[in-house]
Amino acid sequence: MAKLHNSPSFLILTLLFLAFQVSKSDKTTPHKHHHHLEEEADRIIALPGQPNVSFNQFSGYVTVNQMAGRALFYWLTETPNHPLSKPLVIWLNGGPGCSSVAYGASEEVGPFRINKGATGLHLNKFSWNNVANILFLETPAGVGFSYTNRSSDLLDTGDRRTAEDSLHFVIRWMERFPRYKHRDVYIAGESYAGHYVPQLARQILRHNSNSGSNPIKLKGIMVGNAVTDNYYDNLGTVTYWWSHAMISDKTYHQLINTCDFRRQKNSNECESLYSYAMDQEFGNIDQYNIYAPPCNNSDDGSYLSSTRQTMRLPHRPRQTTRQMSGYDPCTERYAEVYYNREDVQKAFHANTTRIPYKWTACSETLNRNWNDSEVSILPIYRELITAGLRIWVFSGDVDSVVPVTATRYALAQLKLKTKVPWYPWYVKKQVGGWTEVYEGLTFATVRGAGHEVPLFKPRAALQLLMSFLKGQPLPKA
């Protein structure tokens, strides 16, 4: 036998067998290997001034449209507790035109908060990555670090393209992170993401029914202080102002009788009523949390108008004064300093193409040129309920921008059967808010929270997420 081993025919057979094995493995491994390399290239070693953490983070770009050169920026913060067994939650902020890195990640549900003066980061102990893997997506192109090489894109964006690009992002991101391909997926967000989240969910369901293979395992959506329906949002907002003594009886009745809340653009008469309410009657308050101190002074004592000062929601008549508030009413400013630092961008694998403008929390260009906005999201809710998705809608009750009354008016139009009647829910023996469970949807308020619920009530917001992911009603005690 020993002779045979050295015989030429045996050697040739051995070589052929090895070659066959290599070519067979070639079909599968380089592909896997390639993704592994792509994923590793996106790994964040550490952000400048970041405390030590035991979880993995990745960030980078996914091209969503080759021709136009549109690429969306993401930041994934995995959970330190068995990330492979935990679901993926995709977080979106609204605006339209505002960044999920600036708000969701840095002020609300992300693992870090930015220090005063943007010198570094400290931990947020109520971070949502305590219980799930959180993926922050800056969408559409033109928001935050996400970019397009076709500058006309910034002047004609809207709901439709945002949903399409976000779908392409999810599909391609999962190619890069195959371990997430068969994982449960949830989408969450707030404010104008009241459009993005249901619209992206609808795109995913359509994709799943068309693609057959490799469906995205979308299980549910959750939105907070969500823009939902132009008519009911406007009616509910004006009603909130009046019921919270922000405007006079006279202005309230004039607004109700003069304004056509169904229209995107207001008449001059209605416009001037809104202006009167805001300029003469509101006073210097933070409309995003009517009981919080506004951020008035910049460090040199001059009045600082921040990015969102000139922003407007599609259902809102004109620009509203925007001042951030929370524990520190000026956090938005630190984000703008921090994410423009070159060392931060480098650690983030961000701005690799050298975007010709500064990173900002919100893009006024996108906001001003938003050209398609669905008048009502209620038809999409009906579709998603029929599809059997878990749907939660929550509302911080001291927000006057997309107030709780607006959400309640809008949801009432769905005429859903009540499963669990209205009751107070609790966080650490205190009433966290109120909730009602319907066939197909759960509604919850968060007591004392402003527009960005997790900023003002981080513990309650984490409780919301945990109950939502378990599909259980909020705690009664």
Catalytic residues: 191, 399, 451
CA-based nearest residue to 230, from 420, 409, 43, 471? 409
Contact 373, 423 (CB under 8 A): no
369: left (phi over 0), alpha (psi -120 to 50) or beta: alpha
What contacts 24+ positions apart, CB below 8 Å, involve 281-284?
Answer: 281/246, 281/247, 281/248, 281/251, 282/241, 282/246, 282/247
Reading the block at residue 404, the tokens are: 């709780």
H helix or E strand, kind and range, residue 460: helix 458-470
Measured in degrees and rounded to the nearest 5, phi and psi for residue 373 equal -140, 120
Beta carbons within 8 Å of 292's beta carbon, 6+ residues apart? 286, 325, 326, 329, 398, 450, 456
CA-based nearest residue to 143, from 132, 153, 134, 133? 153
Reading the block at residue 187, the tokens are: 């989408």
CA-based nearest residue to 391, from 425, 440, 437, 439? 440
Contact 380, 368 (CB under 8 A): no
CA distance 352 to 154: 19
